[in-house]
Every structure is written in C-alpha cells, then in structure tokens.
C-alpha cells in the first residue's frame, strides 16, 4: 500500500516553515539537475512533510529560471504523493482583494520560455490536463483554510504569465475579459509536471495586489507586494499545519492522477531506449516497467 506523503512548494514570501523544530535539509540530485534549494524534511504532530522553496531561500531564482522538472523529480524520489503549491498572485477581480486566498482549479498557461514536460525525448506521453488540480486535495485545502479563519474563494482560474515583469494595462484588461481570477508566474509548468509524475496537485493562491487594472489602486510594485506577502505568509503557515493534519482524510483512491500514465504513453516499447527509461525511472518507472 502506498504511503501518502505531503509536500508544500512555497512561493514568494514563503521560503521555510521555521517553527517546525524537527528539521533535516536534504540535497537531492535528479536527471534534470538540482532543485531550487535543499528540501526540508520535517514533522508536525508526528506526520512527515516536505517543504521546497520554489525560488530558493532568499528568493534568488527568477520564475523563468526555476528548474521545475528537478523540483518535481526530487519530491517524487522522496515518495511524495501530494503537492500543495502556495504562491503569491495578483487579483483580476474586484471581490478578490489583497489578503484573500484562492483555491485554484483551472489554469491558462501563457508561459513560453520553459520546458513543460518530462517526455521531450524518445518517449512521448500525453496526459490530460482538463482538470489540473485534485478535488480531494482541494477539499483538504478548503477545510484547512477555513479552520485558519482565512478569507478564501473555492475555485478560480489562474493566468500564468512568463514574467518577470508585471503585466501591461492592456494585458491585465485582456485577462479580465477571459473571466480569469488571478495572475501569477509560477504554477506552470509545475502543475503539468506533477500530473506527468502522477502526483496529486492543488494550488492555493495568496492575493497580494490588484495587478494594474484597478483604477483606485496604484500600479503594482515590489514594495507594495512584499508588505502583503509577509502577512499572507504567516497565515499560510497556520493553514499548512491544518493541512498536514487533514490531507489524508480527503485522498480519493480513484483520483485520475494516480495512474494517468497508463493511458498517456504512446511510444512503442521497441522505440524506448534504456537510457531514456533510466532517466524517467522516478517519474514514470511504474508505467514503463509494467
């Protein structure tokens, strides 16, 4: 029986969970290079959990330079079955003010400078991204957020832009016509790679600003964002504790993520070289070795 393990990928402002005293920092090597930083292995209420700072501790990795493949492979090596992404975003709607959390269920991927798949050489796979987040994990996030008394919205569409610059006014207004809820720079290709790795994924977006579309608010700048970030990060740490306690209660054994590669790999077995099979052993070993 698979042991369920939770990992938190922390975004801007959330680089560590310092109050967890049982700490071990792990250096993980992957076929795709090194992850963003050492992975924190820790425990809370006797439950093991992993924490990976997406931008590195101290925020030194630009969104376009994040080694998303190494991050996901490293977590998979550690036996992680569930990832909750916690990231800072701008709001595209009046009723999503700074400080509010959004449990994202859809993405619009506008990135263009990132490698978005593990299956880019010899072995081809096409996973479904129709529903990119796992419903059971979203339920766990919602329960954890409500228990933390954090204002939140269940469901929302996240526009993922390339960055690192913020939007132009024309772009911001365009995304609003798409009925998107929030905008950020980091959940793609992270969500796609988690799906390819058969890791259940959920995204909690913490609103820091109104992007640049709102006529009654100043254009977004880093100082403004950081001020809200710090408050959001403290709220997120409370949410994470609740999430560690409850996530296993919401796991869906029939989640399509669990075995999505069974119907995704299209390359004929005789065309799969051992070199590529070995490179994909962590990500796709279960499916390739059947």
Per-residue pLDDT tens for 101-115? Answer: 999 999 999 999 999
At 256, is the pLDDT very low, low, confident or very high (cuts 50, 70, 90)?
very high
**Residue 211 assigned to a binding site:** yes
At 165, is the pLDDT very low, low, confident or very high (cuts 50, 70, 90)?
very high
**Residue 64 assigned to a binding site:** no
**Residue 209 assigned to a binding site:** yes
**Given a cut of 70, is residue 221 above it in pLDDT?**
no
What sections of the chain are H helices per DSSP?
68-77, 135-147, 169-177, 190-196, 222-246, 274-279, 281-288
Question: Can you tell me the distance from the alpha carbon of 115 to that of 171, in angstroms, rounded to the nearest whole number?
Answer: 23
The residues spanned by each domain of the chain are: 6-288
- Token pair listed for 182: 């929030």
Catalogue the active-site residues: 209, 211
Question: What is the pLDDT of the chain when averaged over all its residues?
Answer: 93
Q: Is 68 exposed, middle or buried (0-12, 13-18, 19+ CB in 10 A)?
A: buried
The distance of Cα 44 from the centroid of its chain, to the nearest Å, equals: 21
pLDDT for position 93: 96
Q: Which CATH class is domain 6-288?
A: alpha beta
- Is the backbone of residue 24 left (phi > 0), alpha (psi -120 to 50) or beta? beta
pLDDT in tens, 26-57: 999 999 999 999 999 999 888 999 999 999 99
Residue 27: strand, helix, or coil: coil
Q: How many helices (H) and strands (E) does the chain have?
A: 7, 11
| Average pLDDT over every residue of 230-242 | 87
pTM recorded for the entire structure: 0.95
**Residue 120 assigned to a binding site:** no
**Given a cut of 80, is residue 269 above it in pLDDT?**
yes
At 218, is the pLDDT very low, low, confident or very high (cuts 50, 70, 90)?
low
């Amino acid at each position: 029986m698979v042991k369920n393990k939770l990992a938190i990928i922390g975004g801007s402002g959330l680089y560590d969970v310092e109050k967890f005293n049982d700490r071990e920092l792990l250096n993980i090597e992957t076929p795709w290079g090194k992850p963003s930083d050492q992975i924190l292995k820790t425990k809370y209420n006797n439950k093991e959990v992993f924490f990976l700072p997406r931008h590195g501790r101290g925020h030194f990795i630009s969104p376009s330079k994040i080694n998303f493949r190494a991050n996901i492979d490293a977590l998979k090596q550690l036996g992680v079955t569930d990832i909750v992404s916690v990231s800072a975003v701008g709001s595209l709607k009046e009723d999503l003010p700074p400080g509010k959390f959004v449990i994202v269920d859809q993405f619009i991927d506008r990135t263009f400078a990132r490698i978005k798949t593990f299956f880019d050489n010899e072995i081809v796979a096409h996973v479904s991204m129709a529903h990119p987040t796992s419903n059971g994990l979203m339920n766990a996030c919602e329960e954890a957020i409500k228990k933390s008394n954090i204002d939140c919205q269940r469901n929302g569409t996240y526009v993922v832009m390339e960055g690192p610059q913020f939007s132009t006014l024309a772009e911001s207004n365009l995304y609003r016509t798409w009925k998107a809820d929030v905008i950020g720079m980091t959940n793609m290709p992270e969500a796609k790679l988690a799906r390819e790795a058969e890791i259940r994924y959920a995204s909690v977006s913490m609103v820091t600003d109104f992007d640049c579309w709102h006529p009654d608010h100043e254009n977004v700048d880093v100082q403004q964002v950081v001020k809200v970030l710090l408050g959001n990060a403290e709220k997120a740490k409370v949410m994470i504790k609740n999430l560690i306690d409850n996530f296993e209660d919401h796991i869906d054994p029939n989640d399509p993520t669990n075995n999505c590669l069974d119907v995704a790999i299209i390359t004929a077995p005789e065309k799969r070289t051992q070199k590529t099979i070995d490179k994909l052993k962590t990500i796709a070993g279960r499916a390739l070795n059947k």
